[in-house]
Amino acid sequence: MVELLNSNANDIEKKSDLFSDNDGSNWFEEEIDVDLKWSFALNGMLHRGKSEYQDIALLDTKRFGKVLVIDGKMQSAEMDEFIYHECLIHPPLLCHPNPRTVFIMGGGEGSAAREALRHKTIENVIMCDIDQEVVDFCRRHLTANYDAFRNKKLNLVINDAKAELEKKGEKYDVIVGDLADPVEGGPCYQLYTKSFYQNVVKPKLNHHGIFVTQAGPAGVFTHTEVFSSIYNTIKHVFNHVIAFTAHVPSFADTWGWVMASDEPLCIDSAKLDARIAERVEGELLYLNGSSFYSSTILNKTVANTLKNETHVYTEENARFIPGHGLLDFKN
């Protein structure tokens, strides 16, 4: 639950995602699970709003800079979002022999598109997000992505990603799942299912095509929530599947991604470094060949779980991330 704790009142009043401590400092608090919360000291709230689908807030935090919060869950932080987005975008584009077209499911904040557009071979990036207001909000307020939103190679589509892929005749070199976590009652969990991967995503990939998706928390204590299931589900659809992880400080956890193709995936560090030098504009802040290769070597606990996982994600047998909460913007 997301609360406002008013230090001047006798009772705790549930009012918003902010609370004040005894010295008057403002904090944002997110419930990760029923017995675990994650708090950020704030300089202030920069913007807040509500779309047809979601509650949206942009907070100015003392530790992580601007933080985008949707439905009470932090989506990305200015100081370390490059870790998440470099890991999401560059491995599939670097593993592909000559990527020209990219379809991003979700990605409304524009950071995934920003990273894809850094590749010199890219001719067309389709970013398909269901929420026009989130896209407009991020285009106005996230200054790091101004250039990406103005890039002529970016084609922005407001639609459900599944519906958009189904109605289009085009195929793509890389399809990216930059989706919200699967939460109970949320709009995205159907896009983590075997039927979606098999019947919608895979037929829309060109030869040598690669699919990648964010796959939720992947820490020692959290990887069984959805990460292992998403990995196992994708293994039932594609011939070659790689799971990899990285620590994202603002998420207070290790995060997971899954990359898949019907063709072998090259993760040789020297070859990846050569492709980074040849293809990518500017310097990557987090990823190089060695760090990506090392990210595919999972600790014993997580590796054993992935090896032995039997759950296949379906609409009827879904797993969900715990601890989500809606923002309540009352004053």
Domains detected in the chain:
27-77 (2.30.140.10), 81-308 (3.40.50.150)
How high is the pLDDT of residue 6? 31
**Exposed / middle / buried, residue 24 (Cβ in 10 Å: 0-12, 13-18, 19+):** exposed
Higher pLDDT, 326 or 140: 140
Confidence at 325, pLDDT banded by 50, 70, 90: very low
Which distant-in-sequence residues (6+ apart) come within 8 Å of 147 by Cβ? 114
Is residue 60 within 8 A of residue 44, CB to CB? The reply is: yes
Q: Could you read off the pLDDT of 293-321 as tens digits, one per residue?
A: 999 999 999 999 999 999 999 999 999 98
How high is the pLDDT of residue 13? 30
Is residue 162 within 8 A of residue 196, CB to CB? The reply is: yes
Res. 12: pLDDT tops 80: no
Phi-psi domain of 308 (left: phi exceeds 0; alpha: psi -120 through 50; beta: other): alpha
Residues annotated as catalytic are 178
Confidence at 199, pLDDT banded by 50, 70, 90: very high
Res. 151: pLDDT tops 80: yes
How high is the pLDDT of residue 24? 58
Res. 124: pLDDT tops 50: yes
User: Distance between CA atoms of 27 and 10, rounded to whole angstroms?
Assistant: 19
Q: How far is CA 112 from the centre of its chain?
A: 9
Choose from 2-6, 32-36, 210-214 the range with maximum mean pLDDT.
Answer: 210-214
